[in-house]
């Protein structure tokens, strides 16, 4: 699929895994779709997001997908949420760092400035019923997620991109199952709305800066 801008609307590319494609929720509840809708409600004309994401993808698998279907053109802003499946599969964290940095540098080329790249932290799935059913220790999962996120935050800020922390929101699912989809693992539309509230101000800043150019 070749993406082209056919209007004067702002363009948005969303890259990731199940958390970006919205496993278990309606298309309208996916966080990229909700984010674009909220921006439009506030008068910022944003086109339908181009989403490249698939449940289960790791950093290297997202990179392979981009090799096969390279986004065309420059997008006004990009979100990147990847890494949970690296952690789930027990991969080495330093290998994650290497692959994430390579991916982040690549993603920077899809927009006009690294400052237009928004990196979203990895949610903590250790608090979910799914994790319990699999016999996973939620403390260990949380520690590993925190380690992955510390690397993600460090490398994001080093590159000059923007880092958004939503992991604390995901932890609330241990007390409110309405924040989870029916599979007991992935976020519900309710949780995605909370993410969007946190991501929105950064997108607004990027768009306002773009208008000044």
Q: What is the pLDDT of residues 77-134, one digit of tens each?
A: 999 999 999 999 999 999 999 999 999 999 999 999 999 999 999 999 999 999 999 9
Its domain, for residue 87, covers 12-212
Neighbouring residues of 68: CB distance < 8 A, sequence distance ≥ 6 = none
- pLDDT value of residue 7: 58
Residue 108 resides in a domain: yes
CATH of the domain at 25: 3.40.50.1110
- At residue 44, the pLDDT reads 95
What's the pLDDT tens digit per position in 153-212?
Answer: 999 999 999 999 999 999 999 999 999 999 999 999 999 999 999 999 999 999 999 887
CA pair distance 89, 83, nearest whole angstrom: 10
Let me know if residue 75 belongs to a domain.
yes
Over residues 10-68, the pLDDT tens digits come to: 999 999 999 999 999 999 999 999 999 999 999 999 999 999 999 999 999 999 999 99
Q: Indicate whether 158 belongs to any domain.
A: yes
Question: How distant is the alpha carbon of residue 206 from its chain centre?
Answer: 17
Residue 1 has pLDDT above 70, yes or no: no
What local confidence, expressed as pLDDT, does residue 213 receive?
A: 75
Count of domains observed in the chain: 1
Does a structural domain hold residue 4? no
Does some domain include residue 62?
Answer: yes
Note whether residue 5 is domain-resident.
no
Whether 2 shows a pLDDT value over 90: the answer reads: no
Domain contains 3: no
**Average pLDDT, integer, range 138-143:** 96
Provide the pLDDT for residue 194: 98
């Amino acid at each position: 699929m070749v993406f082209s801008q056919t209007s004067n609307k702002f363009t948005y590319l969303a890259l990731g895994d199940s958390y970006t494609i919205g496993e278990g929720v309606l298309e309208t509840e996916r966080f990229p779709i909700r984010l674009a809708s909220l921006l439009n409600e506030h008068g910022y004309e944003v086109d339908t997001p181009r989403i490249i994401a698939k449940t289960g993808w790791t950093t290297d698998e997202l990179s392979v997908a981009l090799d096969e279907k390279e986004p065309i053109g420059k997008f006004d802003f990009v979100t990147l949420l990847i890494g949970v499946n690296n952690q789930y599969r027990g991969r080495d964290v330093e290998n994650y760092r290497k692959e994430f940095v390579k991916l982040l540098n690549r993603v920077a080329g899809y927009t006009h400035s690294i400052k237009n790249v928004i990196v979203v932290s990895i949610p903590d799935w250790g608090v979910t019923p799914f994790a319990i059913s699999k016999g996973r220790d939620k403390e260990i999962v949380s520690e590993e997620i925190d380690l992955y996120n510390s690397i993600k935050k460090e490398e994001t800020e080093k590159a000059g991109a923007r880092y958004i922390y939503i992991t604390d929101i995901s932890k609330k699912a241990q007390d409110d199952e309405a924040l989870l989809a029916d599979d007991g693992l992935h976020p519900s539309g309710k949780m995605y709305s909370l993410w969007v509230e946190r991501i929105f101000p950064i997108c607004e800043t990027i768009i306002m800066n773009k208008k000044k150019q």
